[in-house]
Amino acid sequence: MRFVFIFLLVGQVCFVFGNDGEQKYFEVSDIQIGLFSSGGFGKNQGKPISGGYTNIFGSLDVLTQSFYGFDFGIGISAVALLHKVKNQDVYSNINNNLIGIGFRINNDEAKDFRYTSDDVVFHTLYFRYSNSWGSLTFGRFPLSLDWVGDYAQGVGVELNKFDHYRIRAGWFDEQAYASPEENVHFGYMNKWYGTYEGYHIQNNYYLDVRFKNESIYWNAYYNYFQSLFNLAGIKANWKLILNDWEFKSMAHYVFVSASSQSQEYCKDPNLSSIAGLACYVPGSMGKVNGYLWEIGERVKYQNWYLSLGYLQNDNKGATNNIAIYADDNPLEYNTVIYGSGSKTSYITLKYEYDGKYFLGLKYGVSWYGTGEGKSSQGQFNALGGIDFSHMNVSVAYVNINDVSGYQNNIARIYLGLKF
336: which residues sit within 8 A by CB, 6+ positions away?
A: 342, 366, 368, 377, 402
Does 42 score more than 60 pLDDT? yes
* Predicted local distance difference test score (pLDDT) of residue 24: 66
Q: What span, in angstroms and rounded, lies between the C-alpha atoms of 335 and 107? A: 6
Q: Residue 289 has what pLDDT? A: 96
- CA-CA distance, 152 to 412, in Å (whole number)? 27
Q: What is the DSSP letter of 111?
A: H
Strands 261-262 and 47-64: unpaired
pLDDT, mean over the chain: 90
Which residues, at least 6 apart from 2, have a Cβ–Cβ distance to it below 8 Å? 78, 80, 119, 120
The confidence score (pLDDT) of residue 234 equals 98
Tell me what the mean pLDDT of segment 229-248 comes to: 96
Handedness of CA 146, 148, 149, 155 (dihedral sign): negative
pLDDT number for residue 108: 84
Q: Left (φ > 0), alpha (ψ -120 to 50) or beta: where does 107 sit?
A: beta
- Convert the pLDDT of each residue in 242-299 to its tens digit: 999 999 999 999 999 999 999 999 989 999 998 889 999 999 999 999 999 999 999 9
Check residue 147 and report its DSSP letter: T
8 A C-beta contact, residue 388 and residue 394? no
Is residue 47 predicted with pLDDT exceeding 50? yes
pLDDT at 190: 83
Task: Give the N- to C-terminal CA distance of the chain in Å, as an integer.
Answer: 21
Alpha-carbon distance of 405 to 47, in angstroms, equals 10
Q: Taking 80 as the threshold, does the pLDDT of residue 13 lie above it?
A: no
Domain ranges of the chain: 35-58+87-418
pLDDT category of residue 2 using cuts at 50, 70 and 90: low
* Cβ neighbours around 214 below 10 Å, total: 8
Report whether 359 contacts 334 (CB < 8 A).
no
Count CB neighbours of 175 within 10 A.
27
Alpha-carbon dihedral sign for residues 182, 187, 190, 195: negative
Interval 355-368 mean pLDDT: 96
Q: What is the pLDDT of residues 333-353, one digit of tens each?
A: 888 899 889 999 999 999 999
pLDDT at 213: 93
Note the pLDDT tens digit of each residue in 99-151. Answer: 888 988 888 888 888 899 999 999 999 999 999 999 999 999 999 999 998 99
Q: Determine the Cα–Cα distance for residues 381 and 376; give it in Å rounded to an integer.
A: 17
Single-letter amino acid, residue 268: D
**Coil vs helix vs strand at 312:** strand
**Quick one: CA dihedral 190, 191, 192, 197, positive or negative?**
positive
Give the count of alpha carbons within 13 A of 128, CB side only: 22
What gap in Å lies between CA 185 and CA 108, rounded to an integer? 17
Most confident stretch, 22-36, 77-91, 172-186, 187-201: 172-186
For residue 227, what are the CA distances in angstroms to 169, 176, 219, 260? 20, 19, 25, 9
Domain topology for 35-58+87-418: Porin (2.40.160)
Choose between 325 and 164: higher pLDDT.
164
**DSSP state, residue 196:** H
Q: Identify whether the C-beta of residue 79 lies closer than 8 Å to the C-beta of residue 119.
A: yes
Supply the DSSP symbol for 290: E
Residue 282 has what pLDDT? 94
Query: What is the mean predicted confidence (pLDDT) over 182-193?
Result: 89
DSSP 18: H
